[in-house]
Amino acid sequence: MPAKVSRSVDILLVEDNSADIKLIEECFKDLTIKCNINVATDGEQAVDILKRNGTHLNDVRPDVVLLDLKIPKKDGFEVLSEIKSDTSLSGIPVIILSSSSLKNDVDKAYALKANFYITKEMDIENYVQIAKYIEDYWLSKSDKRAV
C-alpha cells in the first residue's frame, strides 16, 4: 500500500443505504490521501452538518460532498439547491451518486450546479473510480498550493 500523504480530505457522504456506505468507506481506505468520511443518512441531517446547526456546531466543514438523490426527509435535489444557493457553502464541490440514470435527473442536477454526476453501479470498480477521482483532484489541488 502506498504511503499516505499529509493532506487529508473531509468528505460528507449523504447516503441512507448502509451497504453503499460500507462500500464507499472501504474504497477510500487504500488511497494515498487520508479521507475523513462523515455520514449523513438523510437530507435534513446533511444540511444541519453543512450549516453547523444544533449538535453539529463543531463539525468540520467538508471539502467535498458525495450526495445520493433518493434520501429521506429532504431529497438530494433539495440539499444540492441549498448548498449551491448559500454563499458560504456554494464553493464546496458536490458529486451526485445516484441509481438514476434518467436524463431528467442528470440535467436537473447539473442545472442546480452539481460538479459531477455518477450513476451507482453494483460494481465495486465504480466506487473505486469515485475514490480515485477525488484523490486525483485533491492531490493536484495540493500540488498547486505548494508551488
Q: Categorize the per-residue pLDDT at 28 as very low, low, confident or very high, splitting at 50, 70 and 90.
A: confident
What is the Cα–Cα distance from 11 to 8, expressed in whole angstroms? Answer: 10
Has residue 145 got a pLDDT over 50?
Answer: no
Q: Domain residue spans in the chain? A: 9-138
Has residue 64 got a pLDDT over 70?
Answer: yes
What is the Cα–Cα distance from 136 to 115, expressed in whole angstroms? Answer: 15
Which of the following CATH numbers is that of domain 9-138: 3.40.50.2300, 3.30.2130.30, 3.40.50.300, 3.30.420.10?
A: 3.40.50.2300
For range 123-146, the mean pLDDT: 67
Q: How far does CA 65 lie from the centroid of its chain?
A: 3
Q: What pLDDT does residue 142 have?
A: 47
Has residue 143 got a pLDDT over 70?
Answer: no
**Residues 95/118, Cβ–Cβ less than 8 Å:** yes
Nine-digit cell string for 33 = 490521501
Q: What pLDDT does residue 6 have?
A: 57
Q: What pLDDT does residue 146 have?
A: 38
What is the Cα–Cα distance from 12 to 46, expressed in whole angstroms? Answer: 8
